[in-house]
Amino acid sequence: MHTVEYDVDRPDSDIVDGFEEIPSTIVSDVTGNIGLTMDAGMEPAYDGVEMAGTAITVKAAPGDNLIIHKAITMAEPGDVLVIDCNGYTDTGHVGELMCTSCQANGLAGLVIDGAYRDSREIAEMEFPVYGRGTNPQGPLKQDPGSINVTISVGGVSVDPGDIVIGDDDGLAVIPREGAQEVLERSHEKLDAEDTVREEVLEGEYLFELNSYDELFDNLNVVGPEDSIQ
| Three-state secondary-structure class, residue 68 | helix
Is 86 found in the same domain as 143?
A: yes
Q: Which of 91, 92, 66, 71 is nearest to 82 (CA)?
A: 71
Those residues of the chain that have pLDDT short of 50 are 227-229
Is 94 found in the same domain as 163?
A: yes
- Report pLDDT digits (tens) over 155-196: 999 999 999 999 999 999 999 999 999 999 999 999 999 999
| Three-state secondary-structure class, residue 112 | strand
Look at residue 221 in the predicted model and tell me its pLDDT: 60
Look at residue 34 in the predicted model and tell me its pLDDT: 73
Note whether 150 and 158 are within 8 A (CB).
yes
Look at residue 95 in the predicted model and tell me its pLDDT: 98
Q: What is the pTM of this model?
A: 0.91
Note whether residue 229 is domain-resident: no
Note whether residue 167 is domain-resident: yes
Is 190 found in the same domain as 117?
A: no
Is 123 found in the same domain as 81?
A: yes
Look at residue 224 in the predicted model and tell me its pLDDT: 54
CATH number, domain at 152?
Answer: 3.50.30.40
Q: d(Cα 190, Cα 228) in Å, to the nearest integer?
A: 45
Note whether residue 228 is domain-resident: no
Instruction: Tally the domains of the chain.
Output: 2
Is 120 found in the same domain as 200?
A: no
Look at residue 37 in the predicted model and tell me its pLDDT: 96
| Three-state secondary-structure class, residue 170 | strand
Note whether residue 212 is domain-resident: yes
Note whether residue 2 is domain-resident: no
Note whether 182 and 198 are within 8 A (CB).
no
Is 35 found in the same domain as 62?
A: yes
| Three-state secondary-structure class, residue 223 | coil
Is 198 found in the same domain as 141?
A: no
Is 214 found in the same domain as 113?
A: no
Look at residue 164 in the predicted model and tell me its pLDDT: 98
Note whether residue 227 is domain-resident: no
Is 20 found in the same domain as 113?
A: yes
Range of the domain at 100: 13-176
